[in-house]
Structure 1
């Protein structure tokens, strides 16, 4: 089977349309109360690897539903006008997710260069996954 567009092309197209935040810039924003780091990885990844301190866990499969005020799953934190920094393991899922939310009209959104694996490799702060997800 030959696809019209493969995942690599989808990611390249997304990267051309979205803002990618460097690790250095992102780490400087850790203390900014107007910034929310959004971890879109699977819960098992968080339990195994940890996460960026104070990040909000928003599973990739629920993201569009959590940001849309018309959705029964809406989480108010997404409507507070804060800068959203999405990340996953290697910046593939976060690139596609950032592009989708940007298309939906979510303002002030970007994603983390290299994802959480690059964050850890750079020895930036890592927290254990909280036992209970944020409810928003």
Structure 2
């Protein structure tokens, strides 16, 4: 193995903007900031969500951000700062670096992720359920 996952995360951390949970909480609700949850849907169901965050699973993020992708999502076409988070801050660090490489302007992540957010007393809600039609 040429690079470990730990080495990749450490490299990303040197390049990306990382907010403390306190800084992130101060940004929460700012209309110029969009929180992006890159955790797996099962984590959202089990642990809850940050109100107002959009869910973009790590496996689809690059496709949803890319305006040339058939999977592009309009939420990523706005001129906002995108603050990514996962459970502990590792996946979000890698995702932030990838989005920087893709040319997304203002992108950052939260040190300690959702776990640190929750421990700090940040607002948490249950994952919204989709209404079934039919």
Aligned to 2:70: 72
Give the C-alpha shift of residue 43 in structure 1. Answer: 0.4
Paired with 1:104 and 1:16, the residues of 2 have a C-alpha distance of 17
2:125 counterpart of 1:127? yes
Paired with 2:13 and 2:27, the residues of 1 have a C-alpha distance of 21
Aligned to 2:14: 16
CA deviations over 1:28-83 (Å, ceiling 9, x no partner): 11120111100000000000000111110000000000000000000111111111
The 5 Å alignment of 1:1-136 reads 3-132=1-130
What SS is found at the alignment partner of 1:94? Answer: helix
Paired with 2:45 and 2:79, the residues of 1 have a C-alpha distance of 29
Give the C-alpha shift of residue 9 in structure 1. Answer: 0.5
Q: Which ranges of structure 1 fall in alignment gaps of 5 or more residues?
A: none
Paired with 1:116 and 1:75, the residues of 2 have a C-alpha distance of 23
Paired with 1:90 and 1:14, the residues of 2 have a C-alpha distance of 14
Confirm or deny: 8 A CA contact 2:85 2:110 kept in the other structure.
yes
Q: Which ranges of structure 2 fall in alignment gaps of 5 or more residues?
A: none
Equivalent residue pairs, number = 130
CA deviations over 1:78-132 (Å, ceiling 9, x no partner): 1111110000000010000000000000010000110001111111110111113
Paired with 1:108 and 1:59, the residues of 2 have a C-alpha distance of 19
Runs of 4+ in 1 over 3 A off after TM superposition: none
TM-score, scaled to structure 2? 0.95
Superposition CA RMSD, Å = 0.7
Paired with 1:125 and 1:81, the residues of 2 have a C-alpha distance of 25
Confirm or deny: 8 A CA contact 2:29 2:52 kept in the other structure.
no
